[in-house]
Each structure stands twice: as structure tokens, then as C-alpha cells.
Structure 1
Amino acid sequence: MAHDARKRTLSTRMSLLDVKTAPYLYIAPFFIVWAITGLFPLLYTAYISTRKWDLLQGDLGPAGLSNFTFVLAQPGFWQALRNTFSIFLLSSVPQIITALFLAAVLDANLRAKTFWRMGVLIPYVVAPVAVSLIFTEIFSDRSGMANALLANIGVSPIGWHADTLPSHLAIATMVNYRWTGYNTLILLAAMQSISTDVIEAAVVDGAVRLKTYWYVILPLLRPTVIFVIITSTIGGLQIFDEPRMFDLTTIGGSNGNFMTVTMYLYNTGWGPQLNMGRASAVAMLLLAVILLVALFNLILSSRISSVDNPSGRHGPGRKTGVR
């Protein structure tokens, strides 16, 4: 009897242990892969940023913070940072606004819904190199379609590659073309998860379509909008493919007028300097900038939402101003 009791006790303990440890075992493979492919490269980059690391000769000894001070003293780094923020703002802000509009349209009672929803995703699945090559021809300084259309309305040709702001607009157009559909489908999925009872209650209260969207649907989309903003921030500040393919003869333009931080990093590590220590320092500085901007976006989005809904209620009714 005592043996059976001990056996039942051991079985109970094993069952409790299985219940407690099973969730961690299920998610462990992801964190193991992430530690190998994500955390380790990040920590190793931070280590290399404090070393005199030549691409050809390897580690030449400690450098302390000299790599960071050297990078911060270079005018080219600050120019690349300004270009990155300019392209990021010109792409992310219109991209999110357009994605919200398209998601609302696709959420309506349209014919051939699947066709239109697949259509907005087509630019995302096209190879970035193909998109960049096509838009490079469109925004060609001499024979591009953009300048040809402008000439028809009496506007002088624009130096899309030579001038700073036009080059940023052209690159931002490529980014918007590729990523707007992706963000649209994310927002559309969030819209479709909203209970129809909430929307019907707003309609019964007398809210028109625009007010229903502004006071009911948009507040309920806040977590998804914040997610889209954060991912757009991370991707926008790491932009490389579009500006690199925009001009294959130079890296960032003849005067660096559209060189981004990632292109500056590439030029530092694999360009004439061949200095991986300084390139790693650029990478760590870019990481700090991304974290700061992402945190600022998160705080700003949360405060805007709390101002729009001081009572904390997202549903329809008199207190939310739907009527």
C-alpha cells in the first residue's frame, strides 16, 4: 500500500512538472534559434565595435570608444542620418495613412473581395531589385517617364538622382509601393476581428460611416496601428535595398545626397576603409537610434489614443462622441 501511495505521489508530481514545464519547452526552440541567429550576432557586433578590426588583417587590438568618436566626428555620418530620417518620414507617414484608407475600403462590401485583397499584396511579393530597377527607369533624369509627364504640363525636368529632396521622394515612392499593401492586410485583419455588434450599435446610435470609422473602428485598431508604426520605423531606418539599387554607379549618389546609415555602414566596412570596427560602431549607433525612435513612437501613439479616449472606453455611445 505504501509503495502504491508513493507511486501515485510520484506520478502526481511528474504530471504537475509536465504542466509547468511544457509551455517553456514548446517555445524553447524559437528562443534557441533567436539566441544563435539574433542575440549572438548583436553581442558580437558590440564586441567588434570596441576593437581595431580590419577586414583583411583581423583583430588588431582594443580600440575602446575610439570607433564611436571617430564615426560621430564624420560629417558623412550625420548626412547619412539626415537622409535616413528624411526618407523614413516621406515613406512611413503616407504609407500608414494610405494603408488605413485601403484597409477600410477592402473591409467594405465589395465585389470580388479576394481579387482586390490579393492585388494590394502583389507589390510586396515582387523582388526588391526588380521594383528598384523599374522605378529607377521611371525616375531617370534624362528619359524617365516622370520627367516626360512633367514636361507635358510645362514643368522643367527634375534631377531625381542629382538633387537631394527629389531623390528622397523617388526612393520613398519605391518603399511605399512595396510595403503599403503588406500593412494594409495587417490592418484589414485587425478590422475584421472587430465584433459586428459594436459597429451595429454605433449605426443604431445614428453614427454615419465616417464617424463610425473615426470614433469606433480606429480606437479599436490602436494596438495594431502601434505595431505597424513600430515595424515601419524599424524597417524605414534600416533601408538599404531601394537607395542602393536607385543608382548602381555610386553609393548614395555622387554627393551622398541619398546615402542612408546602412549604406554608410556598408561603405565603412566593405568600402575603401575596410574597417569592421568602425562599421560595427555605426551599427550600434543605428540600433540606439531605432530604439529611441521606436520608443518615442510608442509613447506618442499611446498618448494620442488616451487623449482621444479620456474615459478609456472604445465602444460607441454618447461619451465617445459618436452621436
Structure 2
Amino acid sequence: MATQTAPTRARPASDPSRSPRRVGFSQRLGKWDVKLSPYLYISPFFIIFAITGLFPLIYTGWVSLHDWDLLGGQGDFVGFENFTQVLGQAYFWKALRNTISIFLWSSVPQVIAAIVIAAMLDANLRAKTFWRMGVLLPYVVAPVAVALVFSKMFADDSGLINTVLENIGLSPVGWHSEAMPAHVAIATMVNFRWTGYNTLIFLAAMQAIPRDLYEAAVIDGASRWRQFISITIPMLRPTIIFVVLTSTIGGLQIYDEPRMYDQMGQGGNDRQWLTVTLYLYELGWRNTNLGRAAAVAWLLFMIIVVFAVANYLITRRIASDSAPKQRRVAGRNPR
């Protein structure tokens, strides 16, 4: 039986004299909008950053290469002479040691306390909003007010801390006269202000962890401590890296607390709590030598970059080394 095929429709021959259709201006404008609009949306940030961040950084580097006076203005080009003179000053190295000491006393306990408090706030508590707002209250207080109150509490003669120590039979501590107690006192101010702020950051990260992981751990019989070590901490690694980096940058730039720790604002009689920013302020404002002050600012910038990169590499190394252990723990029943 022969099959009958449907007739095919012949395609019209293309007219060679017909010109191709041109893309209209509205269509080209639409393509430009798709390609350029994302860059236009984010451009205000980069424009403001270039004006308020990048330009002052470059201009400070230009000032550091000149003999620049606060009143006289720009002087002769001296190259790296300001850097060599600053590095040859004993006060700079003392300020750097004090800054690193205060940074360690503040950042390390601050991150640990913030993680612990965030874990407590993430639990089933009554009045969660009240407690979460309560941990942020110290951050709202002005740093000058915090420094004034804590400087009175840590006074050597009649301070609250020494009074309590004497009442329990301990000898008073020279919170202002000795270097290490002064560092601890200033670090306490920093921890008081910033622990609550970092706590909310960790709390937001904890709430983003899938609850199915905790439910599976409970079914397997994992304790709260095992859940915290095997689930919460590994899932918080990106947030921990972020908080460590921001704490490093802020801790090495500390100024308000040591500046207001006594009435003189010079870092103590023996400069026992002199920081790099206080030394920068003394060179630029009191000694009117903006060239050396700009050199100190650039040295501090490079130190912060080195510490930030080192912290990032260390935290990434710890995360990569603990990943196989995390997989092994997840593969068996955590008891």
C-alpha cells in the first residue's frame, strides 16, 4: 500500500536587494542597560571609597616623602628619610609593643567570649529579644564615656578594682603605673564595647546553620558540647575569619581608650601604654611634623596588612586541617 506524503511548502527565496534589519536605539539601550546597570549600582561605593579612602592613603604617602610641617606646609623632598628616622626612635618600637600587647589581650578573649555568648543566646531562652538587645548596649555607649568610667575604676589609689582586691586580702595593682596591668585595663574597655557587637554577628551566623544537622546529631545521641564542637564551630569558620580580621584591624588602630586612660593623654609617664596611633598623634599635632606622622601612618598600614594576611592564612590552615577530622566525626555516632 503506497503511502501519501504531504506536500512540502516551498520557502520563499531571499531577496538579495533587501537590506538587513537594523537594531533600533531602544533595543541597543536595553542591552546597554543590562550590561552597565550593575556597575552603575555599585559605582557610588567605589566613588566614595576613592574620595574618602584611596585618595587620603595616596596623599599620606606623598606627605611622608617630604619635610612637611603642620604650620609651614610642604617642604623639601626627603625620600624615605622620615621612615628611617621613625624606625630609629625607641618610642616607636615601645608603642608597637604596647599596641600588639593590648591587641592580644583584647581580641583573643573577645572572640572567644562572643562565640560563647552567641551560643547561649541561640538556645531556647525566655525574652530572647531583651537579652540580644542587652548585649549591644555597651556598643552604643560613647568610647570616651567608657574610657572615663573604666579609668576611674582602675585607678591606683582609690579605684573600685583595687578597693575590692584590698577587701578580699589581696595587694592592690598598679593599673596606671605598670605596663601589663595598664594593657589589661585598656583591653577590658575594648572587650566591654565590642564583645556584644561580635556576639550578634556570630548569633546571625549560628541561626543560618541548618537545624537538620542538630536534629540528626540529637538522634545519634550527641551531647550539646559535641554539637557545639562538631557542628557549630565548623559552620562558623567564615564568620570567625571575618571577625578575626576586623578585630585585628581595629585592635591595631586603637586610640580612644589609651588616649582617655589618664588626663595627660600621652600614654603614661613612662609611655607604658603608648600606642602607635598615640605616637602618630604626638608627632603630627604636638610636634607639628606631618612628614614623620605620615610615615608612622604608612608603617601602621603595612603592619595591619601583614597581621591581616597572617591571620587569614592561619585560620584557613586550621580550617583545612580540621576538615578531614570533621568528616570522620560526622561519619560515626558522636557520643
TM-score strictly above 0.5: yes
Instruction: For residue 76 of structure 2, give the secondary structure of its aligned residue in structure 1.
Output: strand
> Out of 280, 284, 291, which is 1:277 matched to?
291
Matches of 1:201 and 1:27, distance apart in 2: 41
Partner of 2:214: 199
> Out of 292, 312, 318, which is 1:298 matched to?
312
Partner of 1:30: 45
1:86 and 2:106 correspond: no
Is the CA contact 1:306–1:312 (under 8 Å) kept in the aligned structure 2?
A: no
Matches of 1:7 and 1:75, distance apart in 2: 71
Structure 1 residues 61 and 67: alpha-carbon distance in aligned structure 2, compared to 1, 3 A threshold: same
Matches of 1:19 and 1:249, distance apart in 2: 58
> Out of 300, 303, 307, which is 1:289 matched to?
303
Matches of 1:24 and 1:199, distance apart in 2: 41
Query: Where does the alignment leave 5 or more consecutive residues of structure 2 unmatched?
Result: 1-17
Partner of 1:101: 116
Matches of 1:275 and 1:56, distance apart in 2: 9
Counterpart mapping for 1:205-284 below 5 A: 205-271=220-286, 273-284=287-298
Counterpart mapping for 1:112-261 below 5 A: 112-261=127-276
Matches of 2:23 and 2:323, distance apart in 1: 58
Matches of 2:198 and 2:334, distance apart in 1: 27
> Out of 68, 72, 75, which is 1:60 matched to?
75
Matches of 2:176 and 2:35, distance apart in 1: 59
Identity of aligned residues (%): 58
1:317 and 2:333 correspond: no
Is the CA contact 1:202–1:322 (under 8 Å) kept in the aligned structure 2?
A: yes
Matches of 1:281 and 1:7, distance apart in 2: 57
Structure 1 residues 3 and 15: alpha-carbon distance in aligned structure 2, compared to 1, 3 A threshold: farther
Structure 1 letter corresponding to 2:127: A
Matches of 1:108 and 1:311, distance apart in 2: 26
Residues 192-201 or 70-79, more deviating: 192-201
Instruction: For residue 246 of structure 1, give the secondary structure of its aligned residue in structure 2.
Output: coil
Is the CA contact 2:284–2:292 (under 8 Å) kept in the aligned structure 1?
A: yes
Q: CA deviation at 1:17?
A: 1.9
Structure 2 letter corresponding to 1:248: Q
Is the CA contact 2:230–2:326 (under 8 Å) kept in the aligned structure 1?
A: no
Matches of 2:304 and 2:319, distance apart in 1: 22
Partner of 2:3: none
Tell me the TM-score normalized by structure 1. 0.95
Tell me the TM-score normalized by structure 2. 0.91
Partner of 2:57: 42
Q: CA deviation at 1:301?
A: 0.4
Instruction: For residue 67 of structure 2, give the secondary structure of its aligned residue in structure 1.
Output: strand
Matches of 1:204 and 1:237, distance apart in 2: 45
Instruction: For residue 309 of structure 1, give the secondary structure of its aligned residue in structure 2.
Output: helix
Alpha-carbon RMSD across the aligned residues, in angstroms, is: 1.8
Is the CA contact 2:258–2:265 (under 8 Å) kept in the aligned structure 1?
A: no
- 1:139-182, CA deviations, whole angstroms, 9 ceiling, x for partnerless residues? 01111000000001222221111100110010000000000000
Matches of 1:28 and 1:97, distance apart in 2: 37
Matches of 1:310 and 1:257, distance apart in 2: 45
Matches of 1:277 and 1:130, distance apart in 2: 32
Q: CA deviation at 1:310?
A: 2.4
Q: CA deviation at 1:49?
A: 0.6
Instruction: For residue 74 of structure 2, give the secondary structure of its aligned residue in structure 1.
Output: strand
Matches of 1:108 and 1:4, distance apart in 2: 68
Structure 1 letter corresponding to 2:315: S
Residues 282-291 or 247-256, more deviating: 247-256
- 1:187-240, CA deviations, whole angstroms, 9 ceiling, x for partnerless residues? 000000111112212222221111111111111110001000000000000000
Matches of 1:140 and 1:308, distance apart in 2: 44
Partner of 2:5: none
Query: Where does the alignment leave 5 or more consecutive residues of structure 1 unmatched?
Result: none
Structure 1 residues 115 and 3: alpha-carbon distance in aligned structure 2, compared to 1, 3 A threshold: farther
Partner of 1:71: 86
Partner of 2:12: none
Matches of 1:160 and 1:279, distance apart in 2: 29
Matches of 2:19 and 2:265, distance apart in 1: 80
